[in-house]
Amino acid sequence: MKEEVVAAENLRKSYETYLRRGLFNRERKVVEALKGVSFRIYRGEVFGLLGPNGAGKTTTVKILSTLLLPDSGVATVLGYDVVKEAVEVRRRIGVSLTVEKGFFWKLTGRENLMYFGMLYGMDGAELKQRVQKMLELVGLEELGSSDKLYEEYSLGMKARLSIARALLTDPELLILDEPTLGLDPPSARLLRELLIKVAHQEGKTVLITTHNMFEAEIMCDRLAIINEGTIVAMDTVEGLKKLVSDEITLEMLVVLPARVSLKQLREEISEVVSSRVEVDPMEEGTRIRVVMRPLEKEQATQEMLRRLHSMGCSVRRIEVKEPTLEDVFIELTGGN
């Protein structure tokens, strides 16, 4: 049975904001950030909260990090209530909320980690070794940047240090709010690889928020799509894709020998797949378009290629079109 690390049940949160109306007047406005959010995260899982800006991702993350109190609902981390047992929760989590700040500018990366380590109750040789290990793990040691002042760090280095701090106390749960936001592609890739490694090799549970579809797809074991304070869907990436369409489209461009007619070609392909087959003559060859179920894809494609080959057709191009996570996201969030 899977062990539950995070359990959120019907979390609700509203904020009061004020719209300025001139120098002395202001208008009170209540914004409902969370409207009953519930989800579970299991041990060793990389769980993603995917949503547009203002969807409630950061609010959820702050509640689980004990930095914000919910108006109602219950959330537990490793069985500890985030409101009533906040100190116990804090002992078991590592948090990264922003990558571009959150450290002392006049201290080096190593000194910053030493300070936060002590603040979190670590000391002595254990702390020194752990700091060294984290600096090596995130690659700052390799870059020769561990003993550089934080003010001299690039954004990529700052992000690495932020992950190092989150991992410093060897927490069971990592909570990361948009950890690759603003990073250049190589830095973002490095950080993603690092987080996947940490989750899968060291058995950490990771909660990550993002609005980057690619990142969500390659990193997360399961995803919750959140929009306007509500979770609109939650599943694996494949599961979510099925919500939008249960079919994939295979498109091929082939050149037929003179003896093969379009009718013959259509009949031959139709014997392989159960669904619709379109055959259209094009300038550079003949386009075959087949809509099929994902389970059919592998076997049917091989069989079609075998038959085309035996008919003497040469295949110029083959392309599989399936719904992307972006399609799912846009469908479920109404293009928000």
98 part of the interface to other proteins, by CB under 8 A: yes
Q: H-type helices in 245-290, by residue range?
A: 262-270
C-beta closer to other proteins: residue 42 or 120: 120
CB under 8 A, 24+ apart: contacts of 303-308: 303/272, 304/250, 304/252, 304/269, 304/272, 304/273, 307/268, 307/269, 307/272, 308/252, 308/254, 308/268
Tell me how far CA of residue 252 lies from CA of 74, 205, 239, 263, in angstroms.
52, 42, 26, 16
Residues 101-140: x where in contact with other proteins by CB under 8 A, - otherwise, as a string: xxxxxxxx--x--xxx-xxxxxx-----------------
Q: Of 65-73, 216-224, 269-277, 318-326, which segment contacts other proteins by CB under 8 A?
A: 65-73
68 part of the interface to other proteins, by CB under 8 A: yes
26 part of the interface to other proteins, by CB under 8 A: no
Q: What angle do CA 170, 204, 216 make, to 5 degrees?
A: 130
311 part of the interface to other proteins, by CB under 8 A: no
Q: Of 47-55, 97-105, 245-253, 286-294, which segment contacts other proteins by CB under 8 A?
A: 97-105
Q: What is the DSSP letter of 173?
A: E
Total residues found in the chain within this entry = 336
Q: Of 43-51, 58-66, 283-291, 301-309, which segment contacts other proteins by CB under 8 A?
A: 58-66
Applying CB under 8 A, the site for other proteins has a residue count of 38
Decide: 327 and 244 in contact? Cβ < 8 Å: yes
Backbone angles phi, psi at 147, to 5 degrees: -105, 20
C-beta closer to other proteins: residue 93 or 191: 93
65 part of the interface to other proteins, by CB under 8 A: yes
Residues that bind other proteins (CB under 8 A): 15-16, 59, 62, 65-69, 87-88, 90-91, 93, 95, 97-98, 100-108, 111, 114-116, 118-123, 149, 165
